[in-house]
Copies of this chain bind each other. A is one copy, B any other.
Amino acid sequence: MPIIVQKFGGTSVANVERIRNVAKLVQKEIKKGNKVAVVVSAMSGETNKLVGFVNEFKVRNDAEYDTVVASGEQVTSGLLAIALHELGIPARSYQGWQLHIRTDSVHGKARIEEIVTKDIVAGFKKGEVAVIPGFQGVTSENRVSTLGRGGSDTSAVAVAAALKADRCDIYTDVDGVYTTDPRIVPEARKLKKVGYEEMLEMASLGAKVLHSRSVELAAKYQVPLQVLSSFEDSKEDIPGTILVKDEDIMERRVVTGIAYSQNEARITLIDVENVPGIAAKIFAPLADAEINVDMIVQNISEDGKKTDVSFTVPKGETEKAVKVLEGAKKAKKVGYARINSDTKVAKISVVGIGMISHSGVAAKMFATLASKGINILVIATSEIKISVLIDSQYMELAVRALHETYELHKKPAGGKAVATKKKAKK
């Protein structure tokens, strides 16, 4: 009998009525003859409430934070088990410490090390559904740990990997992965299949459908992951978007989707002394301050003596980054004339595994943006994506123009995979 893992997010379990609806979706899989393990988030709003309590204190204790915050998922797991009983389906909840879901001891952003599945498997033999709270685990010191935001997706994939599940279905409030955000481009098309690497790029570039870590884990253990909606009833066998190995994508397409994000800010250092090792001097103090730098561009001046360096940091850390660099200037650790920052920027990314074997994607992107009069501030590329930083007021315009340029509203012809066997670098 196939094993299916189903995961339901906060809006899908927001109240008892919705939990009943989730129970029906579980019942559907049971009726097909599947063995089912379900992973649930906390009721929507609950985790924020609990985090709010903890944040009222002036000190932080990560282990106690986890004890408090993990309780939200505990509640939902018990309630869903009861909802399944109501439908006459045997079910029981297993907390992280009951299974165990062993994690490392990095409280607040723990990583799963092992999931003991013997109780779940024994339950399957009795026809029992296992209900597992997402987001939480237990450390080797026997304390409750949590995996960080979006951790329930990761829990679900980890459970699926441990059970060698035939499919892991992630139910969210969208019904799949789209070529871009349908709120910006109404013609955006739902993708039947997306490669793990593509999804990983899209997730880290701002597509909010899946958490990056869960995609990473799915890729590592080759878990067939499906994204679908818990609010719509579909008759299709695979109603959502399924994540597969990049080489298994059979559609002839070069670009898969357009992602965007407004979570970054640009910082520019003007008239930096252009000496060897200057990049290290700029970025070392930022690394020491635990500020993540993403896109970087350096323009060499004509005489080669002075240069401008631009880069992006998470928007919330802009002020901190500027202070760190001003401090480094005062301490004579790095020399530059002026510093400026801009938080009104957006990152637009074109993603597609097909880029590996197709040239001209970047040129097309730059030409499209130029034709709309959109100035490119910073560029960053990888084998399967090109990202540009632009003025945020042009964000929607850029996304729409690029969606049209690459004809993403059209279903590509099926056929041989365009991706080569070569793995794309992340």
Residues of A within 8 A of B (CB): 16, 50, 53-54, 56-61, 63-68, 71-72, 74-75, 77-79, 81-83, 85-86, 92-93, 95, 97-98, 142-144
Contacts and interface: CB of A to CB of B under 8 A. Distances in A.
B57 A86 contact: yes
A93 B71 contact: no
A240 to B, nearest CB: 29
17 contacts: A16-B53, A50-B75, A54-B78, A57-B85, A57-B86, A59-B86, A61-B81, A61-B85, A64-B78, A64-B92, A64-B93, A65-B82, A67-B74, A67-B78, A67-B81, A68-B79, A71-B74
Given A61-B82, A85-B59, A93 B77 contact: no
A82 B61 CA distance: 6
Contacts of A72: 71
Contacts of A53: 16, 75, 79
A355 B214 CA distance: 71
Contacts of A143: 98
A304 B81 CA distance: 58
B67 A71 contact: no
Contacts of A78: 54, 64-68
Contacts of A92: 63-64
A93 B144 CA distance: 11
A77 B71 CA distance: 11
Chain A at the B interface: mostly helix, strand, loop or mixed?
Answer: helix
A92 B61 CA distance: 10
Contacts of A85: 57, 59, 61, 64
Nearest to A142: B98
A3 to B, nearest CB: 23
Contacts of A54: 78-79, 82
B93 A67 contact: yes
A82 B95 contact: no
A399 to B, nearest CB: 41
Given A59-B82, A64-B78, 15 more contacts: A16-B53, A54-B79, A58-B86, A59-B85, A64-B79, A64-B92, A67-B77, A67-B78, A67-B81, A67-B95, A68-B75, A68-B78, A71-B72, A74-B74, A98-B143
Contacts of A57: 16, 79, 82-83, 85-86
The 9 closest A-B pairs by CB, nearest first: A67-B78, A68-B78, A71-B71, A16-B56, A64-B78, A64-B81, A59-B86, A71-B74, A57-B82
A89 B238 CA distance: 55
A391 to B, nearest CB: 41
Contacts of A71: 71-72, 74-75
A350 B115 CA distance: 59
B98 A82 contact: no
A397 to B, nearest CB: 45
